[in-house]
Amino acid sequence: MQLLKTVEGLHCYLVRLRAAPAAQTVGLVPTMGALHQGHASLIQRARQDNDQVVVSIFVNPLQFGPGEDLDQYPRTLSEDLRQCHDLGVDAVFAPTAAVLYGDSLEAGVTQVVPPPAMTACLCGRFRPGHFTGVATVVTKLLNLVQPDRAYFGQKDAQQLAILQQLVRDLNIASQIVPCPTVREADGLAVSSRNRYLSPQERQQATVLYQGLQAAAQRFQQGECQGQVLIDTVQAVLATVPAVRPQYVELVHPQTLTPLWQIDTVGLLAVAAHVGQTRLIDNWWLRSRRPIIAIDGPAGAGKSTVARRVAQTLDLLYLDSGAMYRAITWLVLQRGIDPQDEVAVAEVIPDCEIRLAAGEPGTPFPSRIWINDQEVTRAIRSPAVTQHVSTVAAQPMVRQRLLQQQQVHGVHGGIVMEGRDIGTQVFPQAELKIFLTASVQERARRRQRDLAAQQHPPVSLEDLAQAIDERDRKDSTRRVAPLQQADDAIELCTDGLTIDDVVAKIVHLYHQSLNAAATTAD
């Protein structure tokens, strides 16, 4: 692991990376140090997704207001380095303020100001200038490291929403990856500031989580009115007078606009002082139907299983293959050469895709519209079939479809299969299945399929070798590599019929809904 303390050292490290024969993806985890389990979860996620992981450790003076804890903020560099090393980090960038801002901090630096509407609520109301400081330092870090992905915790939900807006508004190419809040066993969100708490305050601090849970429970029972949910949190906080709430608010998690009621999703957020320590926490409230994500290697039967599960549970099969076909259809329709990535990219901003369940009795798993024109049949033409893989391999096309798939995710009620659905597309899915089968079993199935298609016979060994090779490629590919989510249930289909597999998934689905209901009770 490299320790980089200067911008020059960081540049040198990155130049060496970019000169490597095989392209290296880079994940950045920005932190202020005093690393804990929350940071570790971000680093682990970055480790899973990227070839190289860079952690930055920098207590950013710009984001602290007068009278805040800049001087007392815990600084534990050698312990942090040990943790980074154990977590397999490749480089730690730990500059001083003078290194990062030069002399300009005193004289004033160019700053990045988030939209005022996003800082007029929650912590922004009580920490003027804080998010400008955060946006400025994160912009600098993204410019310096130019990572493929940067990882941020949902614990700091306002920061996350502002940074997602920032990369969109400033056309920064890094993807912001949100990571779930890590909690102590009693629910308290892990935070570097928890170490300021006395044992008694530590005990009292759990009331933040309990307040949010009480509101989440009312929400599960059908309460959507913002004020009622806020009052519920306030009432629980009031049971511990030593905890002094600063705000309890309900906002939209992306735009941060205040919500009077929840139609699809809301972010309930709280800040409170416990003794001298200011703590924050939040909880997402979603009134959407569940999502099932099915990932796994090629040939494990994912698409057949996903379609059947969707039919059985009356969920929408989110047919990504049909979505790629629809874009290809549009490209051909407009007379564009499918190989011309730039021309294809120009078409992308104005394609709006809509899916619905296929009509019974038709061979199509879903109905599909592009820009309000139904293309369910048209996308099955030989011309589309011939060009779809060329179009689907283009990163801009993938990015656009990812956005559109995630829009479906807002309302839920879907089943989707692929290689990274549980990790990248719908990390919030209620049920994640990793569907596998041994190489031997997949080779046998492939041999049966080929025979059924009157194909000349191929030996099991050759088929097994090809499958092995495909697995290796799929797990190491740069775009959308095959990934098993930490919370996915692995289901090996060796010796099982399709009916068996579908029945198992349907059972797991009901189990996961029951578990969610029990947690909420």
Q: Which residues bind ligand AMP (CB under 6 A)?
A: 31-32, 38-39, 41-42, 152-153, 155-156, 179, 181-182, 189-192
How many other C-beta atoms can be found within 10 angstroms of the C-beta atom of residue 28? 28
Nearer to ligand AMP among residue 152 and residue 324 (C-beta): 152
Q: Please indicate if the annotation marks 193 as binding a ligand.
A: yes
Q: Is 502 annotated as a binding residue?
A: no
SS3 81: helix
Shortest separation between residue 38's beta carbon and ligand AMP, angstroms: 2
| 191 carries a ligand binding annotation | yes
Is 213 annotated as a binding-site member?
A: no
Q: Is 177 annotated as a binding residue?
A: no
Alpha-carbon distances of 415 from 309, 322, 327, rounded to whole Å: 8, 14, 21
Non-local (6+) Cβ contacts of 1 within 8 A are 81, 84, 85, 89, 90, 91, 92
Cβ closer to ligand AMP: 187 or 481?
Answer: 187
In the complex, minimum distance from the CB of residue 182 to ligand AMP, in angstroms, rounded to a whole number: 4
**Given the complex with ligand AMP, which of 39 and 432 has the nearer CB atom?**
39
What are the distances in angstroms from CA 11 to CA 7, 21, 298?
A: 6, 18, 39
CA separation for the pair 176, 135 (Å, rounded) = 13
CA atoms within 13 A of residue 422's CA, in its CB half-sphere: 21
Enter the DSSP assignment of 424: I
At closest approach, how far in Å is the CB of 82 from ligand AMP? 17
475-to-240, 293, 302, 482 alpha-carbon distances in Å: 50, 17, 16, 5
Q: Tell me whether residue 209 or residue 509 sits nearer to ligand AMP (CB atom).
A: 209
Q: Which C-beta is closer to ligand AMP: that of 156 or that of 441?
A: 156
For residue 196, give Cα distances in angstroms to 36, 39, 63, 137, 432.
14, 18, 19, 25, 38
**Closest residue to ligand AMP, Cβ-based?**
153
Minimum CB separation of residue 157 from ligand AMP in Å reads 8
| Least Å from the CB of residue 31 to ligand AMP | 4
- Whose Cβ is closer to ligand AMP: residue 32's or residue 488's? 32
- CA nearest neighbour of 268 among 302, 303, 327, 226: 226
Which is closer to ligand AMP, CB of 32 or CB of 91?
Answer: 32
Q: Which of 11, 39, 507, 510 is catalytic?
A: 39
Report the alpha-carbon distance of residue 256 to residue 116 in Å, rounded: 11
418 is in an annotated binding site: no
Question: Closest approach of Cβ 497 to ligand AMP, in Å?
Answer: 41
Tell whether residue 38 is among the known ligand binding residues. Answer: yes
199: enclosing H helix or E strand: helix 199-204
39 is catalytic: yes
HEC string of 89-146 equals CCEEECCCHHHHHCCHHHHCCCCCCCCHHHHCCHHHHHCCCHHHHHHHHHHHHHHHHC
* Nearest distance in Å: CB 273, ligand AMP: 17
DSSP state of 349: G
Cβ burial, residue 262 (10 Å; 0-12/13-18/19+): buried
207 is in an annotated binding site: no
Summarize the annotated binding site for ATP as residue ranges: 32-39, 153-156, 182, 190-193
Residues annotated as catalytic are: 39
Summarize the annotated binding site as residue ranges: 32-39, 63, 153-156, 159, 182, 190-193
